[in-house]
Structure 1
Amino acid sequence: MTNLVRVVAEALVREQTGAPLRVGVDGICGAGKSTFTRALVKEVESSGRPAIHVDSDGFHHVRDRRRRNTVDQARGYYEDAYDFDALAELVLRPLGPGGSRRYARRVHDLVTDAVITDDTATAPPDAVVLFDATFLQQPRLEGLWDLVIYLHSDEEAAVERGVDRDADALGGRESARAAYDARYMAACRIYLAERQPRERASMVVDNSDPRAPVMVRLP
């Protein structure tokens, strides 16, 4: 992965907007977004440019909101998992041109379900700010990313990685696979059909095999 991540980092470092560079790392559940983003942060930092990873775990809705749609689990996850309005107003707009550069590092604690209102920081003006999550190219975030990297993965490979990762939290492999079928991957299929995120992205990496990712499109 290292050589490809270096190529991506070099492309990001070349981008100059006069404000922090807002980069979304998009892709279906299990595509390897967090691992890829952490590696990318290290490569950007090694170039001498500051890098910030805003953790998507801190931008979920509270549990009751996430689980309010008991009829259609997939649609419920797609529409209610993440607080993208908070991401837009408290992170992406302040980091954009003319913004204060003061951003929320998180608005929610996923473990305790507490709402967080006082965890903020100020980004350096030349920072590369990365946020990785599913569904980043929804209309409410349109125009707020400077670049979007779409991490493609075959669905079967992504599900296997997701089940491996989440089995303990979801009650075992069988329960995890059922959750992916009914909720998580089913929501990703809605997103792919409605938004065509691969086609919209600035950059595309095929991460079906994380040991040998392939560059598909550079900006």
Structure 2
Amino acid sequence: MRPCQHVAEAVLALPAHRVRRVAVDGVDGAGKTHFADALGMELSARGATVIRVSADGFLNPPRTRHRRGRDSPEGFYRDSFDYGRMVRLLLDPLSPGGNGEYIREVYDVRREREVRRLPELAQDDAILVFDGIFTHRDELRRYWDYSVWLEVPFDISIPRAAQRGVGNPDPRSPKNRRYIDGQKLYMAECHPRERATVVIDNADLTNPVLLT
């Protein structure tokens, strides 16, 4: 069984009387979007209603993201996302006791500007598939009913991320210090590998391997 199918079956086995919330975490270039898209399609093919959201829709503007300096690892880890609005507009409404009325994004990173989206109403048995870095942070971990950590070494993830414009393809480049050291800070503080429900080796996008 492919890891994506394994995760889909585990998620579908969760109680369906409320929105089930799934996070896909990993370093930049780990393949989070690719895996989350595949998971969403797998769940949809099995009859589920999927709410597909990316953390990038809750990025802070550059003045906030870079307030500690454009090369700051701590700034990358602590200032990249607007967690207040992510929780208030997306995660709380889709959690037990929430009203189910959510907003899927507030920021367009490609255009580097705020966006306004109308609220959407989730079906009671919908599944949120959320991908993004740092999703096992202390303030977010309680929101996930199921979570995935994609294990990929930096010598693979950094060139992969550079193909879509994040950093330099050389993992040793000083331009990557922000991303690598920021991720190391996150791992040291939050231990996402241990917090995740499952760990998947995603070094080979075409052949992911379930580790735990």
- In 2, the alpha carbon distance for the partners of 1:150 and 1:175 equals 21
**1:115-164 CA deviation, whole Å, 9 max, x = no partner?**
23443211111111011111111112131111111111112111121122
| CA displacement, residues 164-186 of structure 1 (integer Å, 9 cap, x when unaligned) | 2226xx6x756995432x21122
Q: What is residue 53 of structure 2 aligned with on the other side?
A: 54
Instruction: Indicate how the Cα distance of structure 1 residues 46 and 69 shifts in structure 2: closer, same or farther if over 3 A, else same.
Output: same
Q: Which blocks of at least 5 consecutive residues in structure 2 are unaligned?
A: none
142 and 4 in structure 1: CA distance in 2 versus 1, 3 angstrom threshold = closer
1:34 maps to amino acid = T
Choose the corresponding residue for 2:200, options 199, 205, 211.
Answer: 205
Q: How many residues align?
A: 212
Residues 70-219 of structure 1 correspond to what in structure 2 (within 5 A)? 70=69, 73-166=72-165, 173=169, 177-180=173-176, 182-217=177-212
Say if 1:5 and 1:174 are closer, same or farther in 2 by CA, change over 3 A: closer
Contact 1:51 1:130 in 2 (8 A): yes
For the residues of structure 2 that align with 1:34 and 1:148, how far apart are their CA atoms?
14
Looking at structure 2, the residues matched to 128 and 161 of structure 1 have their Cα atoms a distance apart, in angstroms, of: 28
**C-alpha distance in 2 between matches for 1:43 and 1:71:** 38
Using structure 2 for the length normalisation, give the TM-score: 0.91
**8 Å Cα contact 1:20/1:96 also seen in 2:** yes
- Deviating more after overlay: 51-60 vs 116-125: 116-125
CA distance in structure 2 between the aligned counterparts of 1:154 and 1:176, rounded to whole angstroms: 13
Structure richer in helix, relative to its length: 1
Does the CA contact (< 8 Å) of 1:27 and 1:33 recur in 2? Answer: yes
Inter-partner Cα distance in structure 2 for 1:176 and 1:37: 28
Q: CA–CA distance in 2 between the matches of 1:184 and 1:119?
A: 33
The corresponding residue for 1:9 is 8
| Offset, 1:57 | 2.1
**What TM-score do the two structures reach when normalised by structure 1?**
0.89
CA apart distance, 1:72: 5.9
List per-residue Cα deviations over 1:178-214 (Å, max 9, x = no partner). Answer: 432x211221111111111101111111111112111
Kindly tell me: are residues 176 and 67 of structure 1, through their superposed partners in 2, closer, same or farther at Cα, counting changes over 3 Å? farther
Which stretches of structure 1, 4 residues or more, deviate above 6 A after TM superposition? none
SS at match of 1:100: coil
Using the aligned pairs only, state the percent identity.
Answer: 33
Contact (CA 8 Å) 2:55, 2:133: kept in 1 or not? no
What residue number does 1:26 align with? Answer: 25
**3-state DSSP of counterpart to 1:52:** strand
The alignment's C-alpha RMSD in Å is 2.1
For the 8 Å contact 2:148–2:199, the answer to whether it is kept is yes
